[in-house]
Amino acid sequence: MIGTLAGTSSMLLSLFLDQVERFFLGFNENFQQPVAINAMPIRRLGSVLVGGIIAALIWYWLQKRYSPVKIQDAIENGAPMPFWYTWVHVLTQIFFVGTGGSIGRELAPREAGTMLAHQWTKLSRRFPRMNLSPEDRRLLIASAAGAGFAGVYIAPITGMMFALELLYKKISARAIAVSLTSSVIATLIGSLAKGWAPYYHVTNLNFSAKSIPWVLVLGLLMGIGGTWFKTGIKKAGQRRFKDQRLLVTLPVVALLTGIIAMGFPQIMGNGRGIAQLAIDSTSISTGTIAIMVAALLAKAIVTLLTIAGGGYGGTLTPSIAVGAAAGIVVGTLWMQFVGGDVLLSQCAIVGAAALLAASQQAPLMSLFMITEVCHLNYSALMPLGLAVAVSIAVSKLMQGSH
């Protein structure tokens, strides 16, 4: 039942996102056109700005009545997630991303799944045979959050890993069975809207053992960068405006995003455009380095400003965008100064996985997320696993030093 509820909500949120993008930007998002590159620059500016103004008004109104509940609080402390307020909050996130706001969309389906699981556990208390123990309730809510993610990105193993590694924080045969079943059901339902195409398109799927030297370097550097990004996300969340200042700060950040989007539309949305641009890179030149450095800095800064300015949303896909762009920079420099048989697209993928692992402190989730959303084959597991392992080790050492 939880997988069905989470999958249905994820499917509906995906359809809502599609409608927002068609109305405001006039395009259908896919890996071939991840952002509205064909929309007029002034339309891109207007879309993000209007989206920022409307989202600011809704979030200001909402937070005078309700404080958004963190998923971990709902799991660990049983914090209630009011049905209608949570839906308004979730839909506002999807609306803001759909208009071009620089934030991830994956938090919304996780919160929707969590809320629906919370409602289900409330209902079960009325029937003695359905009443759940506190431990069962924690597992069910964590699984629902992971299933919500799986239903949007069509990634069942990632949904399971997210639920167990980041939320439930226990791994057992029973926990795997519950969370994986929920994520598989949600994936099947979500695929009715999204299909089975990869979220990021990769042309060369064959990784080689020759990649180990540059993979180690990427893992080291992305561990450092991912930890910095994690720290920035935390500080931005702590400083998020929730009072009347939100009515100014979020539209201003949206205006900044729109101005950048007039010349660089890949800045819009959850970062899919930047990540795909990096994966598609083939030119080994200083121009490529300049573009990717500008892209990763712009995406990181604007996303952090969006959070601090009052916006809500995910940080997984922005982390992938920043990591993919950084991977291209490192890969290009490696080929210029070291040489060797290196594919830039694979540098982007490895960089994305490694930075995601450090920024989210979730190595297994990161490994399987990149594998699933890119439809990679088994040859990718060795380099991705190595990069993720180095990245999370570096990140833990950095955090242990403070």
Q: State the pLDDT confidence band at 127, using cuts at 50, 70 and 90.
A: low
**297: which residues sit within 8 A by CB, 6+ positions away?**
none
pLDDT at 317 over 70: yes
Cβ–Cβ under 8 Å, residues 81 and 111: yes
Q: What is the DSSP letter of 235?
A: H
* Distance separating alpha carbons of residues 292 and 287, to the nearest angstrom: 9
On average, the pLDDT of the chain sits at 89
Asked if residue 213 has pLDDT above 80, the reply is yes
pLDDT tens digits for range 271-300? 999 999 999 888 777 888 999 999 999 999
Q: pTM (2 decimals)?
A: 0.91
Beta bridge partners of 104: 314
Whether 38 has a pLDDT exceeding 60, the answer reads yes
User: Would you place residue 120 in the very low, low, confident or very high pLDDT band (cuts 50, 70, 90)?
Assistant: confident
**HSE toward the beta carbon, residue 272, CA cutoff 13 A:** 26
**Cα–Cα distance measured from residue 146 to residue 164, given in angstroms and rounded to the nearest whole number:** 8
> What's the CA gap between 91 and 65, in Å, rounded?
17
- Rounded to a whole number of angstroms, the distance between the first and last alpha carbons of the chain is 44
105-109, 129-133, 192-196, 217-221: the lowest-pLDDT one: 129-133
∠ CA 318-322-327, rounded to 5°: 145
pLDDT for residue 130: 64
Domains within the chain, CATH numbers bracketed: 2-194 (1.10.3080.10), 209-400 (1.10.3080.10)
